[in-house]
A and B are shown apart, each in its own frame.
Chain A
Amino acid sequence: MVILNGKKKDYPMKKFLFNKIWIRVLQIFLGILFIYSGILKILNLFEFSLTVAKYGILPEKLINLFSTMLPFFEVVSGFFLLSGFFIQGASLIISFLLFIFIAAVVYVVSKGLSFECGCFEILGKEPKTGVLLILRNIILMVLSLNVFVSKLKKQT
């Protein structure tokens, strides 16, 4: 809402983005998505670790620790987002995780490599590292930041 010529003016898009129902829908969507993604990784931990190794970003010694801890961050953050507690913290952690995923895929794509991404499957098929995956993660990060900003705005 802005004040223009002494009159208050509402932007419909802004109104929609900070709408209570929209934010709740996002919370449920992102919450379920990250719980599902995290559980899938925990169930296939060794395959996931091998995929992390393929990215070639982390030192070999850190691969196991990172690939074991990451799914737990996903599940716990997803759970809090879904339950409605600690929404700001959970949405910011999820945004940060998505930022890491984007950076990792950009790095791999820039090296000309393409393999199964190690992220969640869609319709039983795991996407490969590529521009589409980067785009998907950017959209998810924007949605997660939408939740964070809306809650921060509400608080202030």
Chain B
Amino acid sequence: MKRTLLEILIISTISIITGFSYIFLKKIEIFPESTEIYLFSKKYPEIKLLNTDEVLKIYKKQNVVIIDARDRISYSQGHIKDAINIPYDEFELYPEFFLNLFKKDNQLIIYCEGGYCEQSFIVAEGLLKKGFKNIYVYIDGYPEWEKKGLPHEKVPF
């Protein structure tokens, strides 16, 4: 049994050393702020991530379309002013249905509940695959927007 333990120790040491060398060489962030966001940004570097201040700078421009990727009930309870609702689950099923809501050269800012929520990523990924280029994900999401008292509205469901 002693021999087995020694072998396990040797194999584990080699694995850990090679693993960390790879992490160092590839500059992988081991403990990112949010793993989902980090991984998504690595997978799709063309999709830019924005915080609240960055969204505020561009969101009133004429060319900008704000997309709420949450479900219809959440959207009706409150959303960023003038945002259109593209529920992520409906978008996954019928993407073509939503594509005529904006033009290819529009700047699309997508948001959901912020932080760990992946609805914006699903919609952003889908739009990227459909050929849209100016895609942004607002990572702080609606709760932060509402908390800061920025323009928002409700619609009856």
A interface residue numbers (CB < 8 A to B): 42, 45-47, 49-50, 53, 60-61, 63-65, 68-69, 72-73, 75-77, 80, 86, 88-90, 92-93, 152, 155
Contacts and interface: CB of A to CB of B under 8 A. Distances in A.
B6 A76 contact: no
A80 B11 contact: yes
Interface string B11-46: 110111011001100101111101110111011000
B18 to A, nearest CB: 5
B39 A73 contact: no
Contacts of B3: 88, 155
Contact of B30 (A46, A68, A77): A68
B98 interface: no
B104 to A, nearest CB: 27
Query: Counting chain B CB atoms within 10 Å of each CB, which of A45, A64, A80 scores highest?
Result: A64
Contacts of B32: 64
Q: Interface on chain B toward A: helix, strand, loop, or mixed SS?
A: helix
B116 A60 contact: yes
Contacts of A45: 26, 28
A60 B28 contact: no
B43 to A, nearest CB: 5
Q: Interface on chain A toward B: helix, strand, loop, or mixed SS?
A: helix
A92 B8 contact: yes
10 contacts: A45-B26, A53-B39, A68-B22, A68-B23, A69-B16, A73-B15, A80-B11, A86-B11, A89-B7, A89-B11
Interface in B31-66: 31-32, 34-36, 38-40, 42-43
B28 A68 contact: yes
B4 interface: yes
A51 B42 CA distance: 15
Given A73-B12, A73-B15, A64 B7 contact: no
Contact of A65 (B31, B36, B39, B40): B31
A75 B12 CA distance: 11
B8 A89 contact: yes
Given A76-B18, A88-B7, 17 more contacts: A50-B43, A60-B34, A63-B35, A68-B22, A68-B23, A68-B30, A69-B15, A73-B12, A73-B15, A88-B3, A89-B4, A89-B5, A89-B7, A89-B8, A89-B9, A89-B10, A92-B8
Contacts of B34: 60
A156 to B, nearest CB: 9
Nearest to A88: B4
A-B interface, 8 closest residue pairs, ranked by CB to CB distance from nearest: A89-B7, A72-B19, A86-B7, A89-B8, A76-B15, A73-B15, A72-B15, A69-B19
